Structure 1
Amino acid sequence: MSYERRVLIRHSIASIIALGLTGLSRFIYNIVIARKFGVEELGRANSLLSQAFFIAIPLSFFAIALGKYSSEFLGRGDTDAIRSITLPSFLLPLAGFFLLPFNVYLGLIAVFRGIQLTLRSFLYGIHRGEHYAYLIAASFLAFLEGFAFSNVFAPYLLFLGMVSMFAFVYLGRTGFVGRPKSEHIRLLISYSLFAFLGTLSGVFLIQGPYFLSEYLGSPELAGSVAAILSTAFLLTYLPQVLQSAIMPLFSYKHGRGEPGYVKSLAEKTTAFLILVTGVIVFAMMLVGRGILSFLFKFEIGPAFYLALMAIEVYIVYNPSLVALNSTAYVRRGTLLSLAGAVVSGILWVLLIPSVGEIGVMLGLIGGYLVILGGTAVSSSRLLGIRPRIYLPLFSLLLLQSFAFLSKYALLAGLVIFLIMEKETVKEGMDLLKSFRGRGS
């Protein structure tokens, strides 16, 4: 079995575990808090959590660069360079302790989250994603124990706190801490200046709806948005698994001068995601609202359909955007993410006060479509990724809009979609077979 396949398989298995538990944590948290404390308290808790997660991005300023250069240095066999960039990357999140006098929970969760993001990027960068999976599995048990306390933030304090404690123990025991060298720090800073803006923009698109719906609406609106989006964002599980697996390979192959591999993998992954995500969204549209209304103990409205469609757009452009950010075009990827965040922010300010949940979802769709368009053009010009791979998405969104008519119309849309995508079904099966552990 080739080294690339071993890495891809290890990272995929690790990501299935780690990202699955991480994604489920917010969903489970929202269900328990909603049923235990009510929708308004759910909204307030999610508002603070989202602010902490947003602040964690500048605290993990070097995380993306750490993962990228760790992978590139590993490909060159330069472990001393990896040690040089590790310590400053993990010390930076501790600056969040200055927030403690203002809000203890905000400060602690922001610091712990910053360390978690840095550790995740580092472990995948050095091709040890399975270690991260073991850690998340153990920490998830602490997260569940947190519900035994009356404090609404206890689950995340235990979850992220355990991850943070492990991070420094791991670095000490594995010997990945060395004296920083100026040339390596310059690399970190240079890459991070743009990668940070892109990451911040992406996180704003994910976390912004939670706290903006409280500021521009009410805690009750924020609670409803939290229930809808925590469910819709479960869809990002699959692309995050693939992203964590393929991003180090994009950087690794870029370091070895093999651009054709990047193009092929991005195109195949996109086609696969359109098919799989499309089918899952149809199923969630058919039965999701009733199930969620029961779980959260309040009515989930048709904004749920728009949320699913918005996340679908995000999922489809993700492989090509990751390819841009993982190679030599991080600035282009950053500008695209920033443009999408600006568009969404403007739409939220205009729409949330007047149409509430619908405004939140329309803002997401608007921002994601801007990024999709820019990604299609940029990845075509710079990496040779064909824009036509996105065409099935627009047919899919049209067919899924039948959900606003009736469930029978939606079922008809599903049948039409499967007929249209019969060739992609075959290609998707071939892609899965290619991930098997066979020699190359």
Structure 2
Amino acid sequence: MLSNIDQNLPEDVMNKLLSRLPVKSLLRFKCVCRYWYTLIKNPDLISKHFNQENNNGRLLVHHYISDIDRYAIALFPDETLAGIPPLHENLDHLQIPECMGDVVGPIDGMFLVYTWYSDGDRMALWNPAMREFRRLNVLEPIFPPNFHAVVNVVGFGLDPLTRDYKIIWIRDFYEAIVDESGDDIDYPYYVVAIYTLINDGNRYGILSFDMRLEEFREIEVPANTEYIWGSLSLYNGSIGLFFSQTDLTLECIIDIWVMEEEGCWIKLVTVRPFPEFSRPCGFWKEKELLFESRMNNLVLFNHETHEIRNLEMYGCGSFLGLWAVCYKESLVSLEIEGPDHPEPKWRFLSLFNDSIGLFLCQTGVILHSTIDIWVIEEEGCWTKLITTNPFPEVFLPHGFWKEELLFDSQTNELVLYNHEIHEMRNLEICGCGNALGPRILCP
């Protein structure tokens, strides 16, 4: 049947049909046949899918769940932010470390994740729709012992000419030199996001970095020496500015500006949000603004009707705990093709719908494992089915059951695991502590 479909439908029609489907469905369809796999991996389809009209931006929120003392990601299903509850994902299911600091982006549906407190990998790329997380090797600059880093700013962008993704890392160091009196004297050094708001004490400005020319330049902001604080955000693909003449602890009057072209600003609106306002989190559509309240919950504020709606998302008192962005799904893959890279700690073969399935893991099975599951379409041609982080007690995989996974837990119990909804079910069958315990076959 598939061969007849392939022969009867032109490739441009297939591309049009596939480009309108969500990423979750397309990842499944890659396993249907080699022809579909090739189409879905094609850069033209990836671009067409991302720019498709029905791939509307949805609100993605990083928030804190106090009941389990964990951070999570929530993706709202549509633009109304009402009705159907958002999909919540734990960070370990998305392969994101709990200690991440800045999250920059998205660019083509990808984020740059920067970890402040790390002795190893500090940066990674993350595609939530593909559920892929790729660590980046970052070379630390070598400085004398009396040099200390005090500020780290990261930027992530796309070179419009070469289509290369680029990362900017701005680090602020100071050198501690002891004077004759024995006191430390600090001398600052600026080591050379894309857009970052700067304040030299007397005025505000925007420091911009041109990804194509790789040059810094400063953009002037609306002139007003009485602004106490400012914040940058995106507004329909343009730069938006929140400016206030009062401190955040007072009842704020906020001027909101949008840059139409470089250095040319128009005041969008002046708002007085609400008494419990804490800080702006960004824009949502044309008339609505996102704020964090002093109770650390995310609220939607309509600056025309002055309606306030609690989105039931909470932070934890830190500006890194609660943030929200407009996110579009992307098929851009962060993976290096082939199941042999990098070298896994262990492998396990099984059958998946009459094809060979391969479980690969980069950690020991006694650790909280992240498992890559690959399926062979034809000899030497592999496609990654899913990357999953099943549950802390996983010991050994046993194979597939329909679209679910079978594992042996560390207490030697056979469990059925649904990697989409992260549901685990104990089948009440036990082993005896070795790999020859429970055996499962699909006749």
- Report the TM-score when normalising by structure 2: 0.20
Compare relative contact order (CA 8 Å, sep 6+) and give the higher one, 1 or 2: 1
Which structure carries more helix by proportion? Answer: 1
- Report the TM-score when normalising by structure 1: 0.20
Q: Which has the larger radius of gyration?
A: 2
Which structure carries more strand by proportion? Answer: 2
